[in-house]
Structure 1
Amino acid sequence: MMPRQLAVWGDPIAHSKSPRLHAAAYGVLGLDWDYSRRQVDEVGFVEALAGLDRSWIGLSLTMPLKEQAHRAAEVRDRYADLTGAVNTLLLSDRIHGFNTDVGGIVDALAEHGLDGLGRVRIVGAGATASSALVAAAESGADTVEVRARRPERAKGLVELGERLGVAVTAASFDGAFDGVDLTIATLPSGTALEESVAAGLGDAGGALFDVAYAPWPSALASRWSDGRPTISGQGMLLHQAVRQIRVFLHGDQTVALPSEADVIRAMRAVL
């Protein structure tokens, strides 16, 4: 029987927890699938993808490959179309692209009772900010403020907000911060903001959902106001992986896995 292969690709990739998460899930599901990791950069992506044979079920993509994966996909789900980013490829008769980061954020927020939101602040305007904006809209936000060192980079987020029916504004880190229900920080791990900026965000930021999770607490979480929840990106990592496995098994990230609660417990145990 032909082996069934999957992998996570990115650059760097040695730190990825995806192989442990997927192996734990496949064990519960009784799937004899091999999930590995491979360092692939932007230059080598197209050649690496073309070199896969019929034993391959799909791929997880991390930075910096999400835009390349979006271009490679022949069919895309709604979240991929909205964000311009694909983190999951299903390799069947056609290449299907999915963005499970959006649902991963939504599921992680709901797990902490953070839905039905009104006003949300997104810190950062990079690639992950688009997924954060769609997730905020899915979680009930009607107003989103983007704060970034270069607010001009948020033009695409303002336009995306119009498509979503969400009022999006963009500003720099200068000036006062109005109160919000939730802050979603999308900055790379290890990013340290100026003390005055971190203090302002923490004092008026509501709950904090930080996509970073190593090290934890992040620099921003360490500065958050006492009594306000701070949630690491491990929840997003877990739930986006659950949705990836749904894609690999069902071709649909909304169709639950068999014994999904048991699967999630096994995955959480290896985080």
Structure 2
Amino acid sequence: MPRTSDAGGATRRAGVLGHPIEHSLSPVLHRAAYRAMGLDWEYDAHDVTEESLPAFIDGLSGEWAGLSLTMPLKVAALPLVDFVEPMAKLVGAINTLLVQPVADGRQLVGANTDVHGIVAALHEGGVQEADAGVVVGGGATATSALAALGRLGVTRPIVVVRSRARAGALVRAATKMGVEPRFVSFEDAPHYLSRASAVVSTVPADAGAGLAQALGGSGGTLSADAVLLDAVYAPLDTPLGAAWEQAGGTFVRGTRMLLHQAGEQVRLMTGREAPLEPMSEALDQALQSR
């Protein structure tokens, strides 16, 4: 396939910002997409802190198509854009910044593709709709998970947190979304996990290990229709995921969320559907080499 640039002939640029950023797999995914689409675009990782973010964004030239953002920049970038898309406004975080040309210069648009990524990953696991759902964790990714479960029909999700006081942003977002979360402790979580059709864990693997132990010790058997998406992907197979599969449920790795949220970013930045298959193959190869 011949490679193309933008209408003006200049190579377009995009990239991922964060601190630290060396671990990011976004360059692997986006570059694979550009190769498959025949686009002569650049995509690099940039080490950017909250303090240096305003200057970086202010320096974006017309060759830039957009940025991927990691935490804590997903929140820090909100006041720096001209327009925030409705879902991102609800969630209170943007993981995508689009640079759009307008008559008098440019417009910066904030979007959130994490919600799309979670929904698409759960679809892969077989969840098309759900009435009982659980979110483990209370941070920014948990808020996106809450929105994703809402899209699937869960209006009264269970949220597993160690401290409700630290989940203020999630509570505010839930109110805007029209969902009514019930907060429970990690100790009580196995009871609700065993009854949910869709679970999204957003906590680190070691934090989920305690839940895995409790789930394994409960002696319960899950239906194959019970789907767990573990949003972390280091390690690929988490203790909670292993316990979930051992109990009979369906486990979806966090890399599937990563793939789909990146694919939606590619679509937003290029205006074309993302080539998910070559992106997935490149991701698998990168993970195998680590």
Structure-2-length-normalised TM-score = 0.83
- Equivalent-residue separation in structure 1 for 2:215 and 2:79 (angstroms): 35
Determine whether 1:212 maps to 2:225.
no
Asked if residue 191 in structure 1 is aligned to residue 203 in structure 2, the reply is no
Q: Which residue of 1 aligns with 2:197?
A: 181
CA contact (8 A) 2:85 2:110 kept: yes
2:81 counterpart (73, 86, 90)? 73
Match of 1:267 among 279, 282, 285: 279
3-state SS of the aligned residue for 2:49? coil
User: CA 1:220 to 1:139, structure 2 compared with 1: closer, same or farther past 3 Å?
Assistant: same
Determine the structure 2 residue equivalent to 1:253.
Answer: none
User: How many percent of aligned residue pairs carry the same amino acid?
Assistant: 39
User: Which of 104, 114, 133 lines up with 1:101 in the alignment?
Assistant: 114
Q: Do residues 54 (structure 1) and 71 (structure 2) align?
A: no
1: CA distance between counterparts of 2:242 and 2:169?
30
Deviations 1:104-162 (A, max 9, x none): 11111112211211111111101111100000001121220111111222344334333
Q: Provide closer, same or farther for how the CA distance between residues 155 and 171 of structure 1 changes in structure 2, counting only shifts above 3 A.
A: farther
Q: 1:153 to 1:243 in 2, by over 3 A?
A: same
- The alpha carbon displacement at 1:194 in A equals 6.0
Aligned twin of 2:132: 119
Q: How many residues align?
A: 260
Match of 1:223 in 2: 243
- SS where residue 42 of structure 2 aligns? strand
Report 1:26-65 matches (<5 A): 26-65=34-73
Q: Distance in 2 between matches of 1:122 and 1:47?
A: 35
Q: Is the 8 A contact 1:143 1:167 kept in 2?
A: yes
218-227 vs 75-84, which deviates more? 218-227
Preserved CA contact (<8 Å) 2:122 2:227: no
Q: Once the 2 structures are TM-superposed, how far is the Cα of residue 32 of structure 1 from its aligned partner?
A: 1.0
Which residue does 1:7 correspond to in 2? 15
1:167 aligned onto 2:180: yes
- Which segments of 5 or more consecutive residues in structure 1 lack a partner in the other structure? 251-255
> Residue 167 of structure 1 aligns to a residue in which SS?
coil
Q: Distance in 2 between matches of 1:222 and 1:192?
A: 14
Give the match's secondary structure for 1:161.
Answer: helix
Q: Unaligned stretches of 5+ in structure 2?
A: 1-8, 101-105, 284-290
Asked if 1:135 is matched to 2:151, the reply is: no
Q: Distance in 1 between matches of 2:174 and 2:117?
A: 19
Contact 1:79 / 1:99 at 8 angstroms: preserved in 2?
yes
SS at match of 1:54: coil
Q: Is the partner of 1:27 in helix, strand or coil?
A: helix
Deviations 1:189-246 (A, max 9, x none): x433464x43345657842110011212113213324211111111111111111011
Query: Is the CA contact (8 Å cut-off) linking 1:158 and 1:170 kept in structure 2?
Result: no
Larger radius of gyration: 2
Indicate conservation of the 8 Å contact 1:76/1:97, yes or no: yes
Q: 1:181 to 1:199 in 2, by over 3 A?
A: farther
Cα distance change of structure 1 residues 201 and 147 upon mapping to structure 2, 3 Å threshold: farther
* Deviation >6 Å, runs of 4+: none
Change (3 A) 1:72 1:30: same
Q: TM-score, normalised by structure 1?
A: 0.89
Cα distance in 2 for partners of 1:240, 1:175 equals 31
1:131 is paired with a residue of what secondary structure? helix
The CA distance in 1 between the partners of 2:209 and 2:107, in whole Å, is: 47
